[in-house]
Chain A
Amino acid sequence: MIAVGASWGGLKALRAIAHGLPAHFRVPITFVQHRSKESAALRELLQDCTSLIVCEVEDKQPIMGGYVYLAPPDYHLLVDGDEFSLSVDEPVRYSRPSIDVFFESVAERFGPAAVGVVLTGANEDGAEGLRQIAARGGLAVVQDPRTAESPIMPRAALRAVPTAQTLPLERMTPYLVSLDTGEENEQGRRKRTGGTDEVRA
């Protein structure tokens, strides 16, 4: 599972990421973007950039490869086993959906198979969640704050996970795609798993 969190400036960043995903991309990828209840068009805006199917998550929807999932506005998104689940719990730090809430559940469920990506944003949501993904052996990726429309969120994420892979936006998708095709360099992977015997199915 690739979990991507974005806030201020996120539309452009998410479109850039969606744009680069090849049609055969098979890792489920989920976007959590802060937005108001009324902003219903985000799904369409993202769908315009990719041949993968973009869907706004409904409660208990099964998680499948080949899809780009989008957190619906005004709900928290979580993963529960092999499904998504939603909640209307209070906003966390003024946000619903909260990136932290989603990342924490991804960390719990996917452990080392989780990839957390923190993009542009003007608050500190996502930092704690990314820390938990890293703590469970998952991979932490942060947009290079110098290339972010708003650097606050990526900076906070880097403070929480100083070892996170830092990339400018234009290299983000190629990197995520390399994870899918197994081209990620072994050193990087060893570093985060502490293992030496690289075995890939």
Chain B
Amino acid sequence: MVVPVGLGAADPAPAAGAEAIVTPTVTDIAAAAEAPVNGYSPDLERIEIQLLLEGIYRHYGFDFRAYAYASLRRRIWKRIDSDGLKTISALQDRVLHDPSMMERLLLDLSINVTAMFRDPGFYVAFRRDVVPALRTYPFIRIWHAGCSTGEEAYSMAILLEEEDLYDRARIYATDINEVVIRKAKEGIFPLDRMQEYTQNYLRAGGTRSFSEYYTAMYDGALFAPRLMRNIVFSQHNLVTDRSFAECNVILCRNVLIYFDRTLQQRVHKLFHESLPIYGYLGLGSKESLRFTGFEDDYEAVDRREKIYRKIK
């Protein structure tokens, strides 16, 4: 059993004397094993979640076994609650016997929250620090790994068009989830977010009027088909699929946070193999190479905006 202590013994100590302070007593530990929340002890919960993920992997081929546990656990309970179930085992029963339940769970587990020009500072830094290098290439390949419904890829297409680079660019935008890939191909985004996106666009260094890029229709904003012409949307699983091309730039933002550290390392290996020397890697604003084992293979181009360049 995992003993819940303030600091695990395996923690790298920041200074001498750093140690578990709120040390559990014998009775504490017994109490933890017995203190059920929703009728669950942490141990039993972990067992049932592992069984569920193992079942999903072996029956459907989706491998969530090395996803970050705390987030996964939250989302599994959300599904259980909204379906009026009581236990993780009950969910397992439903998921394994009813593919439509698997589909719903898949949507729950792949968090598809995204936005156009999310973190405008990232795009400012990209224009300033990456675009000049891209200008020197005859052909540019960019991979958006975990692109969700495509907002990020369209943002990049807009940026490249404004920099006069789009004609020689190809954007590969991939996601594990087929449903979001289908949506991404439509290029229609909710009208009620256009105000937010317009602000993001301007703060991201946009040089035109954002409304030039879409047509407002009754059910959404349809983005200009010319933006789609060099984007290839396809389903791709970062955990189980291989690299498909050498790319000059890989952007993988707010995807790896859902993976545990071992899985992150594996995906970083895939990225490393898919980049040439001096290829660029962009991560989400609170993601870092620091804890991945690949820190020394890259140099920071913009540390704050998490843009790196492969140096070995």
Contacts and interface: CB of A to CB of B under 8 A. Distances in A.
Interface string B253-266: 01011101100100
Nearest to A89: B111
Nearest to B70: A78
B24 A112 contact: yes
B18 A64 contact: yes
A80 B21 contact: no
A85 B37 CA distance: 22
B35 A109 contact: no
Contacts of A61: 288, 290-291
Contacts of B286: 56-59, 72, 75, 86
Nearest to B13: A64
Contacts of A194: 27, 31
A109 B23 contact: no
Interface string B1-33: 000111110111111011111111111110110
A110 B6 contact: yes
Contacts of A108: 42, 45, 70, 73
Given A64-B7, A64-B18, A85-B70, A111 B28 contact: yes
Nearest to B254: A88
Given A59-B286, A88-B111, A104-B74, A111 B32 contact: yes
Contacts of A58: 286-288, 290-291
B213 interface: no
Interface of B is mostly: loop
Interface string A85-104: 11111100000000001001
A113 B42 contact: no
Interface in B72-97: 73-75
Contacts of B14: 64-67
B22 A111 contact: no
Interface stretch (A7-15, A117-125, A132-140, A145-153): A132-140
Contacts of B210: none
Given A58-B290, A108-B42, A197-B27, A113 B74 contact: no
A95 to B, nearest CB: 14
B25 A82 contact: no
A16 interface: no
A156 interface: no
Contacts of A75: 257, 286
B113 interface: yes
Contacts of B15: 66
A85 B8 contact: no
Contact of A85 (B17, B45, B68): B68
Contacts of B264: 60
A65 B287 contact: no
Given A195-B25, A197-B25, A78 B71 contact: yes
B278 interface: no
B37 A80 contact: no
Given A90-B113, A193-B31, A199 B10 contact: no
B26 to A, nearest CB: 7
B25 A27 contact: no
A137 B33 CA distance: 10
B122 to A, nearest CB: 13
Nearest to A91: B113
A65 B18 contact: yes
Given A26-B17, A60-B288, 17 more contacts: A1-B6, A27-B22, A28-B7, A59-B286, A61-B291, A64-B11, A65-B6, A82-B8, A83-B291, A87-B257, A88-B257, A105-B74, A109-B4, A112-B29, A113-B24, A193-B27, A198-B25
Q: What are the 9 closest A-B residue pairs judged by CB atoms, nearest first?
A: A195-B27, A111-B32, A112-B28, A111-B4, A78-B70, A65-B18, A82-B8, A201-B23, A60-B291
Interface of A: 1, 24, 26-28, 56-67, 72, 75-76, 78-83, 85-90, 101, 104-105, 107-115, 132, 135-137, 179-180, 193-201
7 contacts: A27-B21, A58-B286, A78-B68, A85-B68, A87-B257, A89-B113, A200-B25
